[in-house]
């Protein structure tokens, strides 16, 4: 993993800094269902993030049941707490102490539900969780380590939902290109996924329950997607079920620069 040590120090600072205020504005705005974001510090022409209702559409397919332990991996400001805790037992982890502080203030009766942890190095025992939900976080993680860790902490038969960014987006997706450059300038940890390679590597360990591929930046909000993986796409959401056989050792399937950005430079 490139420059893991320095990157690690930077990323913790990054998530504890102005990002907390920025994410609060973005998520507040998302709930008002505006399309193009007006939040300061946004990437030019940026789209609002998807609101909880849009994401609930994926979460509904996780089939959360009472007594199940569900990990909200990179829980941010805890916006999925209500959805998950109304159905199952909620556990939220985040790398950012500041995010977790806000969650605890927001849910004073449930402070024990929120914990500071790096997703690549969780302190839960093997198979502790029934389900893992990782929305808007994977693209900031050391992905191979993050996925191995999710597969370790989920039990056999358990489900994992992950969203991320594809490493080959459409060459005419100007907004994706601008976003990639702007994110890099801001020092935002950004990793693009070769989803084909990732799924190929885990195929003996998981069954793929659902795939959604969003062709252009902004399509997730608009609910525009295909279930079959196209050659090029921007965002993706998958639900996989662990079928046993242990935890795979994964080779690199993510990169700091997308293939599309590299093709244009």
Ligand X SMILES: C[S@@+](CC[C@H](N)C(=O)[O-])C[C@H]1O[C@@H](n2cnc3c(N)ncnc32)[C@H](O)[C@@H]1O
Shorter beta-carbon distance to ligand X: residue 5 or 67: 5
Asked if 90 and 84 count as a contact pair (C-beta separation under 8 A), the reply is yes
Binding mask 128-167 for ligand X (x = CB under 6 A): -------xxx--xx--------------------------
96 touches ligand X by CB under 6 A: yes
The distance of closest approach from Cβ of residue 141 to ligand X in the complex, given in angstroms and rounded to an integer, is: 4
Rg of the chain on CA atoms, in Å: 17
Q: CA dihedral defined by 217, 181, 193, 146, rounded to 10 degrees?
A: -110
The residue from 62, 84, 95, 240 that contacts ligand X (CB under 6 A) is: 95
Alpha-carbon span 83 to 78, nearest angstrom: 10
The distance of closest approach from Cβ of residue 171 to ligand X in the complex, given in angstroms and rounded to an integer, is: 26
| Total chain residues near ligand X (CB under 6 A) | 19
15 touches ligand X by CB under 6 A: yes
Calculate ∠ Cα 140-144-149, nearest 5°.
Answer: 95
In the region spanning residues 28 to 87, those forming contacts with ligand X, defined by CB under 6 A, are 74-76, 79
> In what helix (H) or strand (E) does residue 181 lie, and over which residues does it extend?
helix 174-186
Cα 126–chain centre separation:
21
Q: Which stretch in 63-71, 90-98, 213-221, 253-261 sits in contact with ligand X by CB under 6 A?
A: 90-98
In the region spanning residues 173 to 232, those forming contacts with ligand X, defined by CB under 6 A, are none
> In what helix (H) or strand (E) does residue 20 lie, and over which residues does it extend?
helix 19-31
The first and second tokens of residue 128, run together, are 């502790």
99 touches ligand X by CB under 6 A: yes
Shorter beta-carbon distance to ligand X: residue 151 or 232: 151
Sorted by sequence, the CB contacts under 8 Å of residue 108 that are 6+ apart come out as none
Q: Which residues bind ligand X (CB under 6 A)?
A: 15, 23, 27, 74-76, 79, 94-96, 99, 118-120, 135-137, 140-141
């Amino acid at each position: 993993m490139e420059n893991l040590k320095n990157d690690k120090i930077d990323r913790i600072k990054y998530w504890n800094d102005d990002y907390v205020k920025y994410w609060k504005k973005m998520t507040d705005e998302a709930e008002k269902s505006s399309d193009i974001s007006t939040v300061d510090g946004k990437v030019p022409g940026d789209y609002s993030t998807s609101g909880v209702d849009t994401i609930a559409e994926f979460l509904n397919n996780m089939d959360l049941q009472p007594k199940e332990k569900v990990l909200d991996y990179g829980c941010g400001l805890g916006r999925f707490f209500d959805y998950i805790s109304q159905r199952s037992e909620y556990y939220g982890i985040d790398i950012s102490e500041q995010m977790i502080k806000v969650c605890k203030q927001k849910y004073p009766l449930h402070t024990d539900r929120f914990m500071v942890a790096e997703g690549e190095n969780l302190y839960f025992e093997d198979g502790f969780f029934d389900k893992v939900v990782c929305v808007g976080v994977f693209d900031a993680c050391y992905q191979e380590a993050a996925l191995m860790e999710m597969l370790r902490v989920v039990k056999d038969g358990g489900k994992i939902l992950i969203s991320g960014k594809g490493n080959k987006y459409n060459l005419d997706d100007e907004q994706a290109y601008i976003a990639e450059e702007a994110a890099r300038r801001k020092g935002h940890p950004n990793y693009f996924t070769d989803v084909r390679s990732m799924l190929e590597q885990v195929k003996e360990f998981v069954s793929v329950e659902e795939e959604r591929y969003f062709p252009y930046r902004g399509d997730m909000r608009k609910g525009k997607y295909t279930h079959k993986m196209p050659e090029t796409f921007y965002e993706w959401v998958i639900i996989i079920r662990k079928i046993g056989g242990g935890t795979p050792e994964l080779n690199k399937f993510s990169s700091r620069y997308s293939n599309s950005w590299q093709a244009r430079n």
